[in-house]
Structure 1
């Protein structure tokens, strides 16, 4: 009771309350200062984070643009490479085709050379055979012309059947009643070098047989002798 009635109690209470109030104000001020500092720090942090994010976004955009540019360049290079491969494939096909044509031409040239060689050998053989036939003709001429009155003529045929140079053998002294009467046989040489009988005047039925025998034996004097015998037999009928 004494304390309540103490006249200084009110001043002390007021002073204590003011002191508490001042301390609270100071605490609030410190809290406000701390809050402001934290707010400013947070604001700076957020601003820095935003700037960092914006920079990162710009860097990412540049990176994506670079990636897209690389992709476009890679696609263009792939198309160009594909076109070049197609061109190379076509060129290789052309080269292979030309190589095949070259081989074919070489084979044809070799074949032509072989044919030319064979043709040359055949011509040489035919020339040799013709020379032998000419010798036989000369022998036959001496035998028949000198002893049996045989005349040998060279004629040029005007028809397709007897086209080219032919030899005509004219036999006389066949018909005893007319020794000058002519019995004629016309013959030549085929492309293969064999003898060819063109005609006979008068006609001999056995002429094909005599011609076949001539081609087998290649003995012209014997052939002419047989033809003469046939003419004599025909004249005596």
Structure 2
């Protein structure tokens, strides 16, 4: 063991203490460097985390604004869709009303067609009947005018029942004492196509009966023959 009285002991001790101090200083420097690096790393980490959080906040704000914009657009579209549905409903109602009106109009047109067909058939029937009556008149003209001196006149009529042309049948050779004396029956055809006696001169009491028989039989020559006989009977009373 070195003696405490060794004169170099103090220098060796100071040298050892300085070496220990230097080692500690070096250790402290290393700790400070590590701490500094850790501090810088922590700062970078905090800054990165802060930047990430800020970016995330901005992204969230943009996402929130986008969601709000989508909500507003959806509300607008829903409102527009509601208006369109209402318009479609009104249009469908109008179409249904038009269909009902169309159906009603078609029924009216069909009814008018049926009425027109019936009217046409009636007119054809009346024309056919009038042609038959005209043939009867022509036959009566030949029979009575050629053999019995009958005169047939055409006159205009304005009565409510019989309008247009009327015929006057003028009979002569009725009264043996006055063969030129005229006996007149005036008649026409109503709008319904039936014969209508307007008047007789002189008046015959049975004229309505003869008229009804004429309308039932449509036999004009027989009617004129009966009228002539009635005029003859009238002169003998």
Please, what TM-score do these two structures have when normalized by structure 2?
Answer: 0.75
Shift of 1:70: 0.7
Aligned to 1:14: none
Aligned to 1:236: 236
Shift of 1:222: 1.5
Shift of 1:202: 1.6
**Structure 2: how far apart are the matches of 1:100 and 1:160?**
42
Shift of 1:229: 2.2
Greater shift in the superposed pair: 218-227 or 118-127: 118-127
**Structure 1: how far apart are the matches of 2:161 and 2:113?**
33
Aligned to 1:213: 213
Aligned to 1:190: 190
- What does residue range 1-237 of structure 1 map to in structure 2 within 5 Å? 47-160=47-160, 162-237=162-237
- Partner of 2:186: helix, strand, or coil? strand
Greater shift in the superposed pair: 188-197 or 142-151: 142-151
**Structure 2: how far apart are the matches of 1:142 and 1:149?**
10
Q: Deviations over 1:24-63 (max 9, x none)?
A: xxx9999999988887776665555444333222211111
Gapped regions of structure 2 (runs ≥ 5): 1-26
**Structure 2: how far apart are the matches of 1:225 and 1:198?**
18
**Structure 2: how far apart are the matches of 1:71 and 1:206?**
100
**Structure 1: how far apart are the matches of 2:66 and 2:114?**
70
**Structure 2: how far apart are the matches of 1:138 and 1:83?**
79
Instruction: Say if 2:162 and 2:190, in contact at 8 Å, map to a contact too.
Output: no
Shift of 1:88: 3.0
Shift of 1:122: 1.9
**Structure 2: how far apart are the matches of 1:97 and 1:116?**
28
**Structure 1: how far apart are the matches of 2:219 and 2:109?**
40
Gapped regions of structure 1 (runs ≥ 5): 1-26
RMSD (CA atoms): 3.9
Change (3 A) 1:159 1:119: closer
Change (3 A) 1:231 1:157: same
Aligned to 1:8: none
